[in-house]
Structure 1
Amino acid sequence: MPLHRLLRLSPTAVLGLWHRTETAAALGALLPAGAPYAALLPPTAGSERQGQWLAGRVLAHAAAAALWPGAPGLLVRNDAATGRPYLEGPGVPASAVVSLSHSGEWAAALLATGGQVGVDVELVRDKARRISTKFLAADELAAAQRVGTDAYFTLLWSAKETLYKLAERRGLIFKEQLLLEPFTPASAGEIPMVLRLAEGQSRHRICYSQPAAGYVLTHCWEPGAPTATP
Protein backbone atom coordinates (compact mmCIF):
# COMPACT_ATOMS: atom_id res chain seq x y z
CA MET A 1 0.00 0.00 0.00
CA PRO A 2 2.01 3.00 -1.21
CA LEU A 3 0.74 5.59 1.25
CA HIS A 4 3.94 7.60 1.20
CA ARG A 5 3.25 10.02 4.01
CA LEU A 6 0.67 11.56 6.30
CA LEU A 7 1.98 14.79 7.77
CA ARG A 8 -0.07 16.36 10.54
CA LEU A 9 0.25 20.09 10.02
CA SER A 10 -1.74 20.74 13.20
CA PRO A 11 -4.30 18.90 15.35
CA THR A 12 -6.90 19.86 12.73
CA ALA A 13 -5.04 19.54 9.40
CA VAL A 14 -3.33 16.63 7.59
CA LEU A 15 -1.30 16.60 4.37
CA GLY A 16 -1.06 13.26 2.59
CA LEU A 17 1.03 11.89 -0.29
CA TRP A 18 0.37 8.73 -2.27
CA HIS A 19 2.84 7.08 -4.64
CA ARG A 20 0.61 5.41 -7.18
CA THR A 21 1.75 2.01 -8.43
CA GLU A 22 -1.62 0.21 -8.43
CA THR A 23 -4.02 -0.26 -11.30
CA ALA A 24 -7.29 1.65 -11.29
CA ALA A 25 -9.11 -1.57 -10.35
CA ALA A 26 -6.83 -2.15 -7.36
CA LEU A 27 -7.31 1.43 -6.17
CA GLY A 28 -11.08 1.13 -6.52
CA ALA A 29 -11.00 -1.92 -4.28
CA LEU A 30 -9.33 0.16 -1.53
CA LEU A 31 -12.26 2.58 -1.31
CA PRO A 32 -14.79 1.81 1.41
CA ALA A 33 -17.61 3.27 -0.66
CA GLY A 34 -16.89 1.49 -3.91
CA ALA A 35 -20.34 1.69 -5.49
CA PRO A 36 -20.84 5.47 -5.07
CA TYR A 37 -17.35 6.17 -6.41
CA ALA A 38 -17.91 3.94 -9.42
CA ALA A 39 -20.82 6.19 -10.34
CA LEU A 40 -18.75 9.35 -9.79
CA LEU A 41 -15.70 8.23 -11.79
CA PRO A 42 -15.26 10.46 -14.88
CA PRO A 43 -16.78 8.33 -17.66
CA THR A 44 -14.45 9.54 -20.43
CA ALA A 45 -11.21 9.12 -18.45
CA GLY A 46 -8.65 6.60 -19.62
CA SER A 47 -7.00 4.10 -17.29
CA GLU A 48 -4.21 6.52 -16.32
CA ARG A 49 -6.64 9.34 -15.50
CA GLN A 50 -8.89 6.94 -13.60
CA GLY A 51 -5.94 5.74 -11.55
CA GLN A 52 -5.01 9.31 -10.62
CA TRP A 53 -8.61 10.18 -9.73
CA LEU A 54 -9.01 7.10 -7.55
CA ALA A 55 -5.62 7.55 -5.85
CA GLY A 56 -6.67 11.01 -4.72
CA ARG A 57 -9.82 9.64 -3.12
CA VAL A 58 -8.08 6.70 -1.47
CA LEU A 59 -5.60 9.19 -0.03
CA ALA A 60 -8.40 11.50 1.12
CA HIS A 61 -9.94 8.61 3.05
CA ALA A 62 -6.60 7.82 4.70
CA ALA A 63 -6.13 11.44 5.75
CA ALA A 64 -9.74 11.67 6.96
CA ALA A 65 -9.27 8.57 9.11
CA ALA A 66 -6.40 10.34 10.86
CA LEU A 67 -8.46 13.49 11.43
CA TRP A 68 -11.93 12.11 12.07
CA PRO A 69 -11.81 8.43 13.11
CA GLY A 70 -15.59 8.39 13.49
CA ALA A 71 -16.40 9.27 9.89
CA PRO A 72 -16.74 5.91 8.11
CA GLY A 73 -19.34 7.25 5.71
CA LEU A 74 -17.04 9.84 4.13
CA LEU A 75 -17.56 10.62 0.46
CA VAL A 76 -15.49 12.98 -1.69
CA ARG A 77 -17.62 14.82 -4.22
CA ASN A 78 -16.96 17.62 -6.70
CA ASP A 79 -19.01 20.79 -6.93
CA ALA A 80 -20.90 20.76 -10.22
CA ALA A 81 -20.33 24.45 -10.90
CA THR A 82 -16.68 24.85 -9.89
CA GLY A 83 -15.27 21.32 -9.90
CA ARG A 84 -13.82 21.83 -6.42
CA PRO A 85 -13.85 18.77 -4.16
CA TYR A 86 -15.82 18.72 -0.94
CA LEU A 87 -16.58 16.17 1.77
CA GLU A 88 -19.85 14.81 3.01
CA GLY A 89 -21.09 11.94 5.13
CA PRO A 90 -21.78 10.93 8.74
CA GLY A 91 -19.12 12.10 11.17
CA VAL A 92 -17.61 14.67 8.80
CA PRO A 93 -17.53 18.15 10.41
CA ALA A 94 -19.58 20.76 8.62
CA SER A 95 -16.45 22.92 8.46
CA ALA A 96 -14.33 20.20 6.77
CA VAL A 97 -12.31 21.37 3.77
CA VAL A 98 -10.25 19.41 1.22
CA SER A 99 -7.89 20.06 -1.66
CA LEU A 100 -6.65 17.33 -4.03
CA SER A 101 -4.01 17.13 -6.74
CA HIS A 102 -2.36 14.48 -8.89
CA SER A 103 0.37 14.37 -11.49
CA GLY A 104 2.23 11.40 -12.91
CA GLU A 105 2.66 8.77 -10.21
CA TRP A 106 1.84 11.04 -7.28
CA ALA A 107 -1.34 12.20 -5.59
CA ALA A 108 -1.63 14.77 -2.79
CA ALA A 109 -4.46 15.65 -0.43
CA LEU A 110 -4.83 18.33 2.22
CA LEU A 111 -7.75 18.02 4.65
CA ALA A 112 -8.62 20.27 7.58
CA THR A 113 -11.36 21.12 10.02
CA GLY A 114 -12.08 24.70 9.04
CA GLY A 115 -9.95 27.32 7.35
CA GLN A 116 -8.73 27.32 3.77
CA VAL A 117 -6.57 24.73 2.01
CA GLY A 118 -4.70 24.37 -1.25
CA VAL A 119 -2.32 21.69 -2.52
CA ASP A 120 -0.67 20.96 -5.86
CA VAL A 121 1.79 18.31 -7.04
CA GLU A 122 3.46 18.59 -10.42
CA LEU A 123 5.68 16.44 -12.59
CA VAL A 124 8.56 18.62 -13.74
CA ARG A 125 8.25 19.20 -17.49
CA ASP A 126 8.99 22.01 -19.92
CA LYS A 127 5.29 22.96 -20.11
CA ALA A 128 5.44 25.62 -17.38
CA ARG A 129 8.37 27.30 -19.14
CA ARG A 130 6.53 27.24 -22.48
CA ILE A 131 3.41 28.91 -21.06
CA SER A 132 5.27 31.15 -18.59
CA THR A 133 4.16 34.40 -20.27
CA LYS A 134 0.55 33.40 -19.60
CA PHE A 135 0.90 33.04 -15.80
CA LEU A 136 3.94 35.12 -14.76
CA ALA A 137 4.00 38.90 -14.41
CA ALA A 138 6.87 40.69 -16.18
CA ASP A 139 9.10 40.92 -13.09
CA GLU A 140 8.34 37.30 -12.14
CA LEU A 141 9.23 36.14 -15.64
CA ALA A 142 12.53 38.05 -15.60
CA ALA A 143 13.47 36.47 -12.25
CA ALA A 144 12.48 33.00 -13.48
CA GLN A 145 14.53 33.35 -16.65
CA ARG A 146 17.60 34.08 -14.53
CA VAL A 147 17.19 30.69 -12.83
CA GLY A 148 16.13 29.09 -16.08
CA THR A 149 15.35 25.50 -15.09
CA ASP A 150 12.20 23.57 -15.86
CA ALA A 151 11.97 22.67 -12.16
CA TYR A 152 11.87 26.33 -11.16
CA PHE A 153 9.20 27.27 -13.70
CA THR A 154 7.17 24.24 -12.58
CA LEU A 155 7.52 25.32 -8.95
CA LEU A 156 6.20 28.80 -9.71
CA TRP A 157 3.24 27.37 -11.62
CA SER A 158 2.50 24.99 -8.74
CA ALA A 159 2.63 27.78 -6.16
CA LYS A 160 0.12 29.81 -8.13
CA GLU A 161 -2.12 26.75 -8.53
CA THR A 162 -2.09 26.24 -4.76
CA LEU A 163 -2.99 29.86 -4.06
CA TYR A 164 -5.74 29.67 -6.70
CA LYS A 165 -7.25 26.67 -4.91
CA LEU A 166 -6.92 28.40 -1.55
CA ALA A 167 -8.69 31.50 -2.87
CA GLU A 168 -11.72 29.54 -4.13
CA ARG A 169 -12.50 32.18 -6.74
CA ARG A 170 -13.21 31.38 -10.36
CA GLY A 171 -11.71 33.45 -13.15
CA LEU A 172 -8.62 34.76 -11.35
CA ILE A 173 -5.87 36.03 -13.66
CA PHE A 174 -2.67 34.33 -12.56
CA LYS A 175 -0.24 37.01 -13.79
CA GLU A 176 -2.25 39.87 -12.29
CA GLN A 177 -3.90 38.54 -9.13
CA LEU A 178 -1.70 35.68 -7.88
CA LEU A 179 1.64 37.36 -7.37
CA LEU A 180 4.99 35.98 -6.24
CA GLU A 181 7.28 37.90 -3.94
CA PRO A 182 11.09 37.45 -4.00
CA PHE A 183 12.46 34.27 -2.41
CA THR A 184 15.65 32.23 -2.54
CA PRO A 185 14.93 28.84 -4.13
CA ALA A 186 16.01 25.72 -2.25
CA SER A 187 14.99 22.07 -2.09
CA ALA A 188 12.23 23.06 0.36
CA GLY A 189 10.95 26.28 1.87
CA GLU A 190 8.24 28.90 1.60
CA ILE A 191 7.20 31.28 -1.16
CA PRO A 192 5.59 34.57 -0.08
CA MET A 193 2.67 35.51 -2.29
CA VAL A 194 0.01 38.19 -2.62
CA LEU A 195 -3.58 37.57 -3.62
CA ARG A 196 -5.24 40.59 -5.22
CA LEU A 197 -9.02 40.73 -5.24
CA ALA A 198 -11.47 43.53 -5.90
CA GLU A 199 -12.04 43.99 -2.17
CA GLY A 200 -8.33 44.23 -1.37
CA GLN A 201 -5.21 42.11 -1.16
CA SER A 202 -3.92 39.52 1.30
CA ARG A 203 -0.56 37.88 1.96
CA HIS A 204 0.09 34.14 2.01
CA ARG A 205 3.03 31.77 2.41
CA ILE A 206 3.10 28.72 0.14
CA CYS A 207 5.19 25.80 1.41
CA TYR A 208 7.12 23.77 -1.15
CA SER A 209 9.18 20.57 -1.26
CA GLN A 210 10.23 17.71 -3.53
CA PRO A 211 8.28 14.51 -2.79
CA ALA A 212 10.42 12.59 -5.29
CA ALA A 213 12.97 13.22 -8.01
CA GLY A 214 11.35 15.12 -10.85
CA TYR A 215 8.33 16.37 -8.85
CA VAL A 216 7.42 19.48 -6.88
CA LEU A 217 4.78 19.81 -4.17
CA THR A 218 3.24 23.04 -2.89
CA HIS A 219 0.64 23.44 -0.18
CA CYS A 220 -0.96 25.97 2.13
CA TRP A 221 -3.33 25.65 5.07
CA GLU A 222 -4.66 28.74 6.80
CA PRO A 223 -6.84 28.15 9.87
CA GLY A 224 -8.53 31.54 9.56
CA ALA A 225 -9.47 33.72 6.64
CA PRO A 226 -6.77 36.35 5.92
CA THR A 227 -7.60 40.01 6.36
CA ALA A 228 -7.71 41.84 3.05
CA THR A 229 -6.09 45.28 2.88
CA PRO A 230 -6.99 47.99 0.34
Structure 2
Amino acid sequence: MPLHSIRPLPGGAYLGLWHLLETPAELWPQLAAADAYAPLLPARADGPRQAQWLAGRVLVQRMLAATALSDVLLPLQNDATGRPFLAGAGPVPAVSLSHSGAWVAALLAPSGTAVGVDVEVVRDKAQRIAHKFLNYDELTAIKPFITPDATTDNELFSLLWSAKETLYKLAGQRGLIFRQNLLLDLPPGPWPAAGELPARLALGSAISRHCICYFQPAAGYVLTYCHGASS
Protein backbone atom coordinates (compact mmCIF):
# COMPACT_ATOMS: atom_id res chain seq x y z
CA MET A 1 0.00 0.00 0.00
CA PRO A 2 2.33 2.76 -1.22
CA LEU A 3 0.95 5.83 0.49
CA HIS A 4 4.06 7.96 0.16
CA SER A 5 3.27 10.92 2.42
CA ILE A 6 0.69 13.31 3.85
CA ARG A 7 2.34 16.67 4.41
CA PRO A 8 0.75 19.47 6.49
CA LEU A 9 0.89 22.90 4.85
CA PRO A 10 0.27 26.43 6.16
CA GLY A 11 -3.36 27.42 6.51
CA GLY A 12 -4.60 23.98 7.50
CA ALA A 13 -4.03 22.38 4.07
CA TYR A 14 -2.48 18.98 3.34
CA LEU A 15 -0.55 17.60 0.38
CA GLY A 16 -0.79 13.85 -0.18
CA LEU A 17 1.34 11.67 -2.47
CA TRP A 18 0.73 8.11 -3.61
CA HIS A 19 3.44 6.09 -5.39
CA LEU A 20 1.36 3.96 -7.70
CA LEU A 21 2.51 0.34 -7.89
CA GLU A 22 -0.86 -1.46 -7.73
CA THR A 23 -3.21 -2.75 -10.38
CA PRO A 24 -6.90 -1.74 -10.37
CA ALA A 25 -7.76 -5.14 -8.88
CA GLU A 26 -5.47 -4.40 -5.94
CA LEU A 27 -6.86 -0.89 -5.41
CA TRP A 28 -10.59 -1.61 -5.44
CA PRO A 29 -10.53 -3.41 -2.04
CA GLN A 30 -8.73 -0.42 -0.50
CA LEU A 31 -11.52 1.97 -1.51
CA ALA A 32 -14.28 2.45 1.06
CA ALA A 33 -17.80 2.41 -0.44
CA ALA A 34 -16.40 0.90 -3.63
CA ASP A 35 -19.90 0.05 -4.91
CA ALA A 36 -20.75 3.75 -5.00
CA TYR A 37 -17.60 4.54 -7.00
CA ALA A 38 -18.00 1.80 -9.61
CA PRO A 39 -20.56 3.76 -11.72
CA LEU A 40 -18.30 6.84 -11.62
CA LEU A 41 -15.28 5.14 -13.19
CA PRO A 42 -14.60 6.76 -16.59
CA ALA A 43 -15.83 4.42 -19.30
CA ARG A 44 -12.74 4.80 -21.50
CA ALA A 45 -10.16 4.42 -18.75
CA ASP A 46 -7.70 1.62 -19.54
CA GLY A 47 -5.84 -0.35 -16.88
CA PRO A 48 -3.20 2.28 -16.00
CA ARG A 49 -5.75 5.12 -16.02
CA GLN A 50 -8.12 3.09 -13.87
CA ALA A 51 -5.29 2.57 -11.39
CA GLN A 52 -4.54 6.32 -11.32
CA TRP A 53 -8.23 7.15 -10.88
CA LEU A 54 -8.65 4.65 -8.06
CA ALA A 55 -5.42 5.62 -6.31
CA GLY A 56 -6.55 9.25 -6.27
CA ARG A 57 -9.74 8.33 -4.46
CA VAL A 58 -7.99 6.00 -2.03
CA LEU A 59 -5.46 8.76 -1.33
CA VAL A 60 -8.19 11.32 -0.57
CA GLN A 61 -9.89 8.84 1.77
CA ARG A 62 -6.62 8.24 3.61
CA MET A 63 -6.05 11.98 3.92
CA LEU A 64 -9.54 12.60 5.28
CA ALA A 65 -9.02 9.86 7.85
CA ALA A 66 -5.61 11.20 8.88
CA THR A 67 -6.47 14.90 9.17
CA ALA A 68 -8.97 17.07 11.02
CA LEU A 69 -10.56 18.48 7.87
CA SER A 70 -13.64 16.27 8.15
CA ASP A 71 -15.01 13.88 10.75
CA VAL A 72 -16.89 11.84 8.14
CA LEU A 73 -15.78 9.99 4.99
CA LEU A 74 -17.01 12.23 2.19
CA PRO A 75 -17.52 10.84 -1.33
CA LEU A 76 -15.38 12.31 -4.10
CA GLN A 77 -17.28 13.30 -7.24
CA ASN A 78 -16.70 15.40 -10.36
CA ASP A 79 -18.72 18.41 -11.48
CA ALA A 80 -19.86 19.12 -15.06
CA THR A 81 -16.43 20.52 -15.97
CA GLY A 82 -14.61 17.47 -14.61
CA ARG A 83 -13.28 19.14 -11.47
CA PRO A 84 -13.27 16.91 -8.36
CA PHE A 85 -15.21 17.91 -5.28
CA LEU A 86 -16.14 16.33 -1.97
CA ALA A 87 -19.90 15.95 -1.64
CA GLY A 88 -21.60 16.48 1.69
CA ALA A 89 -23.86 18.70 3.75
CA GLY A 90 -22.47 21.96 5.04
CA PRO A 91 -18.90 23.19 4.51
CA VAL A 92 -16.65 20.51 3.04
CA PRO A 93 -12.90 20.56 2.37
CA ALA A 94 -11.63 21.84 -0.97
CA VAL A 95 -9.80 19.25 -3.08
CA SER A 96 -7.55 19.11 -6.13
CA LEU A 97 -6.19 15.95 -7.76
CA SER A 98 -3.50 15.12 -10.30
CA HIS A 99 -1.80 12.01 -11.63
CA SER A 100 0.96 11.27 -14.09
CA GLY A 101 2.87 8.07 -14.60
CA ALA A 102 3.48 6.39 -11.25
CA TRP A 103 2.54 9.36 -9.05
CA VAL A 104 -0.79 10.61 -7.76
CA ALA A 105 -1.12 13.86 -5.81
CA ALA A 106 -3.99 15.37 -3.82
CA LEU A 107 -4.35 18.73 -2.11
CA LEU A 108 -6.95 19.20 0.61
CA ALA A 109 -7.71 22.49 2.32
CA PRO A 110 -10.42 24.01 4.52
CA SER A 111 -13.74 24.82 2.90
CA GLY A 112 -13.70 27.87 0.65
CA THR A 113 -9.98 27.69 -0.11
CA ALA A 114 -8.87 27.85 -3.75
CA VAL A 115 -6.62 24.84 -4.43
CA GLY A 116 -4.55 23.49 -7.29
CA VAL A 117 -2.03 20.67 -7.63
CA ASP A 118 -0.32 19.15 -10.66
CA VAL A 119 2.24 16.39 -11.13
CA GLU A 120 3.94 15.76 -14.47
CA VAL A 121 6.30 13.26 -16.02
CA VAL A 122 9.24 15.23 -17.42
CA ARG A 123 9.20 14.98 -21.20
CA ASP A 124 9.91 17.09 -24.27
CA LYS A 125 6.29 17.93 -25.10
CA ALA A 126 6.18 21.01 -22.85
CA GLN A 127 9.14 22.55 -24.65
CA ARG A 128 7.61 21.83 -28.05
CA ILE A 129 4.39 23.68 -27.16
CA ALA A 130 5.97 26.37 -24.98
CA HIS A 131 4.83 29.16 -27.33
CA LYS A 132 1.24 28.13 -26.66
CA PHE A 133 1.31 28.53 -22.87
CA LEU A 134 4.19 30.95 -22.16
CA ASN A 135 3.96 34.62 -23.10
CA TYR A 136 6.76 36.87 -24.36
CA ASP A 137 7.85 38.03 -20.90
CA GLU A 138 8.00 34.47 -19.60
CA LEU A 139 9.94 33.19 -22.58
CA THR A 140 12.36 36.09 -22.24
CA ALA A 141 12.83 35.40 -18.51
CA ILE A 142 13.85 31.77 -19.08
CA LYS A 143 16.10 32.41 -22.07
CA PRO A 144 19.27 32.53 -19.90
CA PHE A 145 18.34 29.11 -18.47
CA ILE A 146 18.22 27.31 -21.83
CA THR A 147 21.15 24.91 -22.14
CA PRO A 148 22.47 22.37 -24.62
CA ASP A 149 21.30 19.70 -22.17
CA ALA A 150 17.91 18.48 -23.39
CA THR A 151 17.15 16.81 -20.06
CA THR A 152 17.63 20.06 -18.14
CA ASP A 153 15.48 21.97 -20.61
CA ASN A 154 12.74 19.34 -20.43
CA GLU A 155 12.67 19.69 -16.65
CA LEU A 156 12.40 23.47 -16.90
CA PHE A 157 9.56 23.52 -19.41
CA SER A 158 7.71 20.68 -17.66
CA LEU A 159 7.90 22.69 -14.43
CA LEU A 160 6.47 25.79 -16.10
CA TRP A 161 3.69 23.78 -17.73
CA SER A 162 2.87 22.21 -14.37
CA ALA A 163 2.82 25.63 -12.70
CA LYS A 164 0.30 26.92 -15.22
CA GLU A 165 -1.83 23.79 -14.80
CA THR A 166 -1.89 24.45 -11.06
CA LEU A 167 -2.92 28.06 -11.69
CA TYR A 168 -5.67 26.88 -14.02
CA LYS A 169 -7.07 24.57 -11.35
CA LEU A 170 -6.77 27.31 -8.75
CA ALA A 171 -8.82 29.67 -10.94
CA GLY A 172 -11.63 27.14 -11.35
CA GLN A 173 -12.86 28.64 -14.62
CA ARG A 174 -13.19 27.28 -18.14
CA GLY A 175 -11.98 29.12 -21.21
CA LEU A 176 -8.87 30.73 -19.74
CA ILE A 177 -5.94 31.55 -22.02
CA PHE A 178 -2.72 30.32 -20.46
CA ARG A 179 -0.60 33.09 -22.02
CA GLN A 180 -2.94 35.89 -20.92
CA ASN A 181 -4.78 34.83 -17.78
CA LEU A 182 -2.20 32.62 -16.05
CA LEU A 183 0.97 34.61 -15.46
CA LEU A 184 4.32 33.60 -13.97
CA ASP A 185 6.56 36.32 -12.52
CA LEU A 186 9.71 34.26 -12.91
CA PRO A 187 12.61 35.16 -10.60
CA PRO A 188 16.21 35.40 -11.81
CA GLY A 189 18.04 32.10 -11.76
CA PRO A 190 19.46 29.74 -11.03
CA TRP A 191 16.45 28.25 -9.27
CA PRO A 192 16.75 25.71 -6.47
CA ALA A 193 15.59 22.13 -7.01
CA ALA A 194 12.60 22.92 -4.78
CA GLY A 195 11.19 26.38 -4.25
CA GLU A 196 8.48 28.89 -5.04
CA LEU A 197 7.37 30.77 -8.16
CA PRO A 198 5.40 34.04 -7.89
CA ALA A 199 2.31 34.03 -10.09
CA ARG A 200 -0.78 36.04 -10.93
CA LEU A 201 -4.29 35.23 -12.04
CA ALA A 202 -5.68 37.89 -14.38
CA LEU A 203 -9.42 37.27 -14.51
CA GLY A 204 -11.18 40.15 -16.18
CA SER A 205 -10.23 43.33 -14.32
CA ALA A 206 -9.26 41.41 -11.18
CA ILE A 207 -5.66 40.36 -10.58
CA SER A 208 -4.68 38.16 -7.65
CA ARG A 209 -1.16 37.18 -6.61
CA HIS A 210 -0.17 33.65 -5.66
CA CYS A 211 2.83 31.58 -4.70
CA ILE A 212 3.31 28.27 -6.48
CA CYS A 213 5.43 25.74 -4.61
CA TYR A 214 7.37 23.14 -6.57
CA PHE A 215 9.62 20.12 -6.03
CA GLN A 216 10.50 16.75 -7.57
CA PRO A 217 8.67 13.82 -5.93
CA ALA A 218 11.04 11.48 -7.81
CA ALA A 219 13.58 11.61 -10.60
CA GLY A 220 11.85 12.42 -13.88
CA TYR A 221 8.82 14.13 -12.28
CA VAL A 222 7.85 17.65 -11.24
CA LEU A 223 5.05 18.66 -8.88
CA THR A 224 3.50 22.08 -8.25
CA TYR A 225 0.79 23.17 -5.84
CA CYS A 226 -0.91 26.30 -4.54
CA HIS A 227 -3.72 27.06 -2.13
CA GLY A 228 -5.36 30.39 -1.45
CA ALA A 229 -4.08 33.81 -2.49
CA SER A 230 -1.08 35.61 -1.06
CA SER A 231 -2.57 39.00 -1.95
Give yes or no for TM over 0.5.
yes
Q: Deviations over 1:92-116 (max 9, x none)?
A: x524210000000000000111211
Q: Distance in 2 between matches of 1:66 and 1:117?
A: 19
Residue 182 of structure 2 is aligned with which of 173, 178, 185? Answer: 178
- Is the CA contact (8 Å cut-off) linking 1:71 and 1:89 kept in structure 2? no
What is the match of residue 147 of structure 1? 145
Q: Distance in 2 between matches of 1:193 and 1:11?
A: 19
Q: Which amino acid aligns with 2:198?
A: P
Residue 130 of structure 2 is aligned with which of 118, 129, 132? Answer: 132
What is the match of residue 86 of structure 1? 85
Residue 161 of structure 1 is aligned with which of 143, 160, 165? Answer: 165
- Is the CA contact (8 Å cut-off) linking 2:86 and 2:92 kept in structure 1? no
Residues 1:5 and 2:5 are matched in the alignment? yes
Unaligned runs of 5+ in 1: none
Residue 217 of structure 1 is aligned with which of 219, 223, 231? Answer: 223
Q: Deviations over 1:105-134 (max 9, x none)?
A: 000000111211110000000010011010
TM-score with structure 2 length normalisation? 0.91
Unaligned runs of 5+ in 2: 147-152
TM-score with structure 1 length normalisation? 0.91
Match of 2:155, SS? Answer: helix
Q: Distance in 2 between matches of 1:36 and 1:177?
A: 37
Sequence identity, in percent?
56
Question: How many residues align structurally?
Answer: 221
Residue 100 of structure 1 is aligned with which of 97, 101, 107? Answer: 97
Residue 190 of structure 1 is aligned with which of 184, 193, 196? Answer: 196
Matching of residues 65-76 of structure 1 within 5 Å: 65-67=65-67, 68=69, 70-72=71-73, 74-76=74-76
Residues 11 and 190 of structure 1, relative CA distance in 2, 3 Å threshold: closer
Match of 1:102, SS? Answer: strand
Q: Note the aligned Cα RMSD (angstroms).
A: 1.6
Q: Distance in 2 between matches of 1:142 and 1:26?
A: 47
- Is the CA contact (8 Å cut-off) linking 1:77 and 1:85 kept in structure 2? yes
Q: Distance in 2 between matches of 1:30 and 1:89?
A: 21
Matching of residues 4-23 of structure 1 within 5 Å: 4-10=4-10, 12-23=12-23
Q: Distance in 1 between matches of 2:104 and 2:6?
A: 12
- Is the CA contact (8 Å cut-off) linking 1:155 and 1:216 kept in structure 2? yes
Q: Distance in 2 between matches of 1:88 and 1:171?
A: 25
Q: Distance in 2 between matches of 1:151 and 1:176?
A: 23
